[in-house]
Amino acid sequence: MTKKEIVRRSDVIEKLGSLYDLLTESQRKELLDESIAVHYRHDEIIYEEGEVPTHLLCLLSGKAKIFKEGVAHRTQIVRLVNAVDFFGYRDHFANQNYVTSCAAFEPSIVCKIPMEMVNRWVDENPRVASLVIKKMATIIGQTDERLVNLTQKHVRGRLAETLLLLKSTYGWERDGRLCINPSRQDLGNLSNMTTANAIRTLGAFVSEGLVAVKGRHITILNEEELKNISRKG
């Protein structure tokens, strides 16, 4: 089961700084009083397609994936969420239910801020409205670019781009391993290909010395060549 608790003041100030700094004193008090922190297990659903969006969400710690189920129940991961990203609010401002679902990639903590409160802040505080607009515009631009890449590149180009995306989003350990250990199914869902194609293509990258694989741990050995493969498509 998910665990809920009041968000700590230190977490709000440190991790929600991009929002907290823009608020008035009364709005800051509202944020501290009304927000909750929710703990999610690995692969636990944070929200589901079709649900009514009631909160602005912020990933305080962990990693999450936003995905959509398509034809024949095939899943496509459309966006990665990293700490400290805001998410789950576009649908509310579009006056619609969620058109995607979201799940934790690993044990995660999500701050939930009531949307009724955010609506007032947007109406009362132009700086908050500007922040929301800028974040939505950035996400739309990234989604447009990724959509073209996933539909026009060959499987090698798509998997190379996915590995580079995982590295740029979540970083890497001192020994070069990615800081996230995706399943082969997740790699396929990120790359718009079947799990079998993801396994074969990743195996080819290993044979070519581009990456090293041990279980779910992936180490990028030749980033420049992966970038080259991604560029060529």
CA 228 to chain CA centroid, Å, is 25
| Share of the chain residues as helix, strand and coil, in percent rounded to the nearest 5 | 50, 25, 25
Cβ neighbours for 117, distance < 8 A, ≥ 6 positions apart? 30, 31, 34
Beta partners for 66? 79, 102
Write out pLDDT tens, residues 115-166. Answer: 999 999 999 999 999 999 999 999 888 888 887 777 888 999 999 999 999 9
| Gap between the Cα atoms of 166 and 123, Å rounded | 36
CA torsion 161-166-167-170 (nearest 10°) is 160
Is this structure's pTM higher than 0.85? Answer: yes
- Give just the sign of the alpha carbon dihedral 12, 4, 81, 134: negative
Q: What is the mean pLDDT of residues 44-67?
A: 96
Secondary structure (3-state) at 225:
helix
State the pLDDT confidence band at 1, using cuts at 50, 70 and 90: low
Tokens 């189920």 — which residue? 69
Strands of 53-201 (E only): list them.
55-61, 63-69, 75-82, 86-87, 101-104, 108-114
Which of 21-30, 105-114, 168-177, 197-206 comes out lowest in average pLDDT?
Answer: 168-177
| Gap between the Cα atoms of 189 and 7, Å rounded | 33
Q: Decide if 38 contacts 4 (C-beta within 8 A).
A: yes
Write out pLDDT tens, residues 195-221. Answer: 999 999 999 999 999 999 999 999 999
> Tell me, what's the pLDDT at 22?
95
Domains in the chain (CATH in brackets) are 3-143 (2.60.120.10), 153-232 (1.10.10.10)
| Gap between the Cα atoms of 222 and 23, Å rounded | 45
> Tell me, what's the pLDDT at 208?
97
Mean of per-residue pLDDT scores for the chain: 92
Q: Decide if 50 contacts 31 (C-beta within 8 A).
A: no
